[in-house]
């Protein structure tokens, strides 16, 4: 997720990518972040997340994600997530980055700007598609 290798497209299976497991036994993210995990339409679904932890506080004001998603009729089964959010650790509490995140977009490094904040930990929270796993090629924070 941070190898700086960008794919040719969101359905590129030659480039390294990360998929969240979509099975009933897959670990779910911390539902306390957002209540959506309890409201999910399928028991196998829930919030999934990735997190960067740093040795010291850093200032961030931008993130970018290149999502993994198969094209109709193409190879692979990953789908764009239904939604995503970014959180940062502030005095031991997870705080949501504002503003609201846009809908996930395929075939590009989707850039998200937000007000600058300082943290040692930043988290990407994803609500996967209902029918297939969600994943990404790259997640950058600056």
10-residue block means of pLDDT along the chain (142 residues)?
91 90 58 41 66 97 95 78 96 93 96 96 92 92 96
- Domain range list for the chain: 18-141
Residue 132 confidence (pLDDT): 85
Q: Collapse the DSSP code of 37 into the 3-class scheme (helix H, G, I; strand E, B; otherwise coil) and give the result.
A: helix
Q: Can you list the positions of beta strands (E) in the chain?
A: 18-19, 48-68, 83-90, 93-96, 110-127, 135-141
Residue 74 confidence (pLDDT): 64
Token pair belonging to 139: 């997640």
Q: Does this model's pTM top 0.85?
A: no
Residue 1 confidence (pLDDT): 83
The 8-class DSSP code of residue 104 comes to: P
**CATH homologous superfamily, domain 18-141:** Galactose-binding domain-like (2.60.120.260)
| Sheet with strand 93-96: strands edge to edge | 18-19, 135-141, 48-68, 110-127, 83-90, 93-96
Token pair belonging to 134: 């969600």
Look at the alpha carbons of 113, 127, 68, 90 in this order and tell me if their dihedral is positive or negative: positive
Residue 25 confidence (pLDDT): 56
């Amino acid at each position: 997720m941070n190898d700086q290798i960008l794919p040719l497209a969101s359905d590129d299976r030659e480039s390294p990518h990360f998929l969240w497991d979509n099975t009933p036994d897959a670990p779910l993210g911390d539902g306390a972040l957002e209540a959506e995990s309890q409201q999910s339409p399928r028991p196998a679904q829930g919030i999934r997340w990735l997190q960067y932890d740093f040795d010291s506080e850093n200032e961030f004001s931008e993130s970018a994600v290149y999502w993994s998603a198969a094209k109709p009729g193409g190879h692979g089964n990953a789908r764009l997530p239904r939604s995503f959010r970014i959180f940062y650790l502030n005095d031991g509490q997870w705080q949501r980055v504002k503003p609201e995140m846009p809908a996930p977009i395929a075939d590009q490094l989707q850039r998200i700007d937000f007000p600058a904040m300082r943290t040692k930990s930043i988290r990407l929270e994803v609500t996967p598609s209902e029918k297939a796993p969600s994943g990404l090629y790259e997640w950058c924070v600056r």
